[in-house]
């Protein structure tokens, strides 16, 4: 499943490619993907993409001179976006193979957007949990309300985070996974951030010291930013690379590393269940 850094990578690349392009046609291959909205084509034809924003893993397309028309896109388990310009195909999202980009639109294409300059954007989704649907300003506001601030936000308030974290009585891992509290950290990135900060996932949040909370905020931001930097290569240029896939999983220190020695202290990394999720930590250096 694409985690937030992969979604952010897709957003940055798509925004770069699509801003200023005007939609000439929309083709819906599977109506569930557009929430069975039969008006989507009529409403989008002639509209120009102005930007792509994001809240959590939800991408929000905005349109030029339109204050009440948005397109929300969520990749969920298996969603992928492919952008085609002449013979040049690039794309990102769920990990992909050469077959995914062959003969677009193909059997996994759910929606296609065609632009007046001849380029096209395809949304492929094998499992059909993802969506690309129209929304009003009120609906976008409602979606935004479900997410706390992100550790990668330049304005992330560490003092606020420290106070709120230490007011919680759940395991610190559960607190960090709560998207309404802070957004953007999935299971992998929470384990990595806790390892970097030297805090055990099972520790109660109200027993995390102020100093440790500061380390955690910094570690969470670092893990996400590094993964976005690496994630740049998950948005692939198929003509050039033939589907080579760079991945942050090559850089993980504890996640999936159970049974291996900790890169910091040499203790053997353990896997347990915490906050209902498979959880990895080092019993030697995470207190």
**Interface with Zn ion by CB under 5 A: which range of 71-79, 110-118, 128-136, 262-270?**
262-270
175 contact partners, CB below 8 Å, separation of at least 6: 165, 168, 181, 205
**Interface with Zn ion by CB under 5 A: which range of 69-77, 100-108, 223-231, 279-287?**
279-287
Q: Mask: binding to Zn ion, 208-247, rule CB under 5 A, as x and -?
A: ----------------------------------------
For Zn ion, which residue of 43, 164, 253, 264 counts as binding (CB under 5 A)? 264
**Interface with Zn ion by CB under 5 A: which range of 16-24, 139-147, 206-214, 256-264?**
256-264
Task: Using alpha carbons, select from 76, 61, 190, 181 the residue that is nearest to residue 125.
Answer: 76
194 contact partners, CB below 8 Å, separation of at least 6: 172, 173, 176, 200, 201, 216, 219, 281, 286
For residues 109 and 279, which CB has a smaller minimum distance to Zn ion in the complex?
279
What three-state secondary structure class fits 86?
coil
Helices (H), the chain: 4-18, 40-44, 137-145, 158-165, 172-177, 187-197, 210-231, 238-241
For Zn ion, which residue of 167, 265, 268, 276 counts as binding (CB under 5 A)? 265
Q: Give least dist CB 192 to Zn ion, A.
A: 13
Residue with tokens 């479900």: 146
282 near Zn ion (CB under 5 A): yes
262 near Zn ion (CB under 5 A): yes
Q: Give least dist CB 286 to Zn ion, A.
A: 7
Q: Give least dist CB 284 to Zn ion, A.
A: 4
Rg (CA), the chain: 20
Q: Give least dist CB 274 to Zn ion, A.
A: 17
**Interface with Zn ion by CB under 5 A: which range of 104-112, 132-140, 142-150, 258-266?**
258-266
For Zn ion, which residue of 149, 198, 246, 284 counts as binding (CB under 5 A)? 284
Work out whether the CA dihedral 169, 171, 177, 182 comes out positive or negative: positive
Q: Mask: binding to Zn ion, 1-20, rule CB under 5 A, as x and -?
A: --------------------
List residues with catalytic annotation.
Answer: 2-3, 57, 277
Q: How far is it, in rounded angstroms, from Cα 216 to Cα 284?
A: 18
* Dihedral in degrees, nearest 10, Cα atoms 63, 66, 67, 73: -30
Q: Which residues bind Zn ion (CB under 5 A)?
A: 262, 264-265, 267, 282, 284-285
């Amino acid at each position: 499943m694409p985690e937030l850094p992969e979604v952010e990578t897709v957003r940055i690349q798509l925004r770069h490619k699509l801003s200023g392009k005007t939609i000439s046609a929309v083709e819906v291959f599977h109506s569930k993907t557009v929430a069975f909205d039969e008006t989507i084509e009529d409403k989008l034809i002639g509209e120009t993409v102005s930007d792509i924003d994001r809240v959590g893993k939800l991408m929000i397309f905005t349109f030029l001179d339109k204050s009440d028309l948005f397109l929300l896109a969520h990749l969920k388990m298996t969603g992928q976006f492919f952008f085609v310009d002449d013979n040049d195909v690039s794309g990102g999202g769920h990990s992909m193979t050469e077959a995914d980009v062959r003969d677009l639109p193909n059997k996994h294409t759910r929606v296609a957007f065609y632009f007046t300059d001849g380029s096209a954007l395809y949304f492929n989704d094998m499992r059909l949990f993802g969506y690309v649907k129209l929304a009003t300003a009120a609906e976008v506001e409602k979606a935004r309300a479900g997410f706390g601030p992100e550790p990668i936000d330049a304005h992330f308030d560490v003092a606020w985070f420290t106070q709120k974290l230490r007011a919680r009585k759940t395991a610190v891992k559960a607190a960090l996974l709560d998207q309404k509290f802070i957004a953007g950290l999935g299971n992998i990135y929470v384990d990595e951030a806790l390892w970097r900060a030297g805090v055990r996932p099972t520790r109660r949040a109200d027993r995390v010291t102020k100093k440790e909370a500061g380390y955690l905020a910094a570690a969470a931001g670092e893990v996400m930013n590094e993964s976005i930097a690496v994630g740049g290569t998950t948005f692939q240029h198929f003509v050039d690379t033939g589907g080579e896939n760079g991945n942050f999983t090559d850089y993980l220190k504890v996640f999936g590393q159970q049974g291996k020695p900790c890169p910091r202290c040499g203790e053997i990394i353990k896997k347990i269940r915490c906050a209902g999720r498979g959880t990895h930590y080092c019993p030697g250096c995470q207190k």
